[in-house]
């Protein structure tokens, strides 16, 4: 199974290769999967004071504020004081309510950018996303579903791995998809790799809640907003991903 891999905000191909290396090595060891890495189409600067946190330049993003939104706040600025309300959906609504910059034009451009990569570098069977990369990966899956329903276009991706992601943007790119106000649902098998100590856990669960519960796995690595690196934990995650691959293949093991 071949996965397209999308890093988090301010990440890059090289950084994400390092972050995902333990799982890549685990799944490539028995040829369960192979991985193709891309990065966001926008080269950006990190928030002041966060340069060391995101490593050295260059930095890339998949979603950015539009030019006429200079007086609005990037959502990544607001998460420094991430709210914790009664439900994941309430938390996400509160986070996105006041003065948040619009990103629909950049999201539309990013979708075209990713479709072009799929056409040139594909085929792919699955998609992997970390943080912002998971959000845009989920958005792409819903967009593919919309194209299938409206035009009969066969979706590219048959499954997804989400590391610390947030809920997708609507296929119409005008707001988030939240389970308590939308019937939209990602209908391919998904594996949600979360950390119970992640300060943004409500975002992770809001993404899980818009995926088909009959084919959505949760894997808790019990840490924060990071990717698992412990050898035993990575082996357990690899086995979970293998189960998902078997499900995608109709119950037939590819190895």
Query: What pLDDT, on a 0 to 100 scale, did the predictor assign at position 104?
Result: 83
Cα gap 226→222, rounded to integer Å: 10
What does DSSP say about strands 34-37 and 2-6: parallel, antiparallel, or unpaired?
parallel
Q: Which of 106, 131, 179, 215 is catalytic?
A: 131
Instruction: Name the nearest CA neighbour of 159 among 130, 193, 185, 124.
Output: 124
**Distance between CA 170 and CA 199 in Å, rounded?**
24
pLDDT digits (tens, 9 = 90+) for 74-125: 655 555 566 678 899 999 898 877 555 567 889 999 999 999 999 999 999 9
pLDDT at 189: 97
* Res 52: pLDDT: 64
Give the pLDDT score at 47. Answer: 76
pLDDT of residue 48: 74
Q: Which of 70, 75, 121 is nearest to 94 (CA)?
A: 75
- For the question of residue 131 being annotated catalytic, the response is yes
Closest by CA to 33, choosing from 63, 3, 60, is 3
Burial of 42 per CB tally in 10 Å (0-12, 13-18, 19+) = middle
Consecutive sets of 10 residues in the chain, 255 residues long: mean pLDDT of each? 96 96 97 97 83 79 72 56 84 76 84 98 97 96 96 96 94 92 96 94 96 96 92 96 92 62
Q: Phi, psi (5° rounding) for residue 244? A: -65, -40
| The two structure tokens encoding residue 32 | 């369960």
- What confidence score (pLDDT) does residue 46 get? 82
Closest-CA residue to 136 (of 116, 93, 106, 98): 106
Q: How many CB atoms lie within 10 A of CB 155?
A: 15
Domain chopping of the chain, boundaries: 2-249
Q: Which helix H or strand E contains 66, and what residues bound it?
A: none
CA distance 20 to 228: 8
Q: How many CA atoms lie within 13 A of 39 on its CB side?
A: 16
Gap between the Cα atoms of 188 and 141, Å rounded: 8
Please identify, in words, the CATH class of the domain defined by 2-249.
alpha beta
The upper half-sphere exposure of residue 214, i.e. CA atoms within 13 Å in the direction of its Cβ, equals 5
pTM over 0.85: yes
């Amino acid at each position: 199974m071949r996965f397209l891999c999308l890093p988090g905000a301010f990440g890059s191909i090289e950084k994400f290769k390092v972050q995902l290396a333990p799982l890549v090595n685990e799944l490539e060891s028995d040829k369960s999967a192979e991985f193709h890495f891309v990065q966001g189409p926008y080269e950006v600067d990190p928030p002041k004071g966060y340069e060391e946190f995101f490593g050295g330049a260059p930095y890339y993003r998949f979603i950015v504020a539009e030019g006429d939104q200079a007086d609005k706040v990037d959502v990544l600025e607001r998460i420094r004081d991430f709210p914790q309300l009664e439900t994941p959906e309430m938390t996400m609504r509160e986070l996105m309510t006041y003065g948040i910059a619009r990103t629909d034009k950049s999201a539309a451009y990013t979708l075209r950018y990713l479709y072009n990569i799929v056409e040139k570098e594909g085929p792919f069977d699955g998609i992997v996303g970390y943080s912002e990369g998971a959000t845009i990966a989920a958005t792409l899956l819903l967009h593919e579903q919309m194209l299938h329903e409206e035009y009969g276009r066969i979706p590219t991706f048959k499954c997804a791995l989400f590391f610390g992601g947030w809920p997708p943007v609507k296929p119409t790119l005008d707001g988030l998809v939240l389970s308590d106000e939308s019937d939209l649902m990602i209908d391919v098998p998904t594996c949600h790799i979360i950390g119970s100590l992640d300060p943004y856990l409500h975002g992770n669960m809001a993404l899980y809640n818009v995926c088909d519960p009959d084919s959505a796995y949760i894997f808790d690595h019990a840490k924060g907003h990071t990717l698992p690196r412990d050898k035993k934990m990575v082996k357990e995650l690899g086995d979970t991903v293998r189960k998902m691959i078997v499900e995608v293949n109709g119950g037939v093991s590819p190895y």
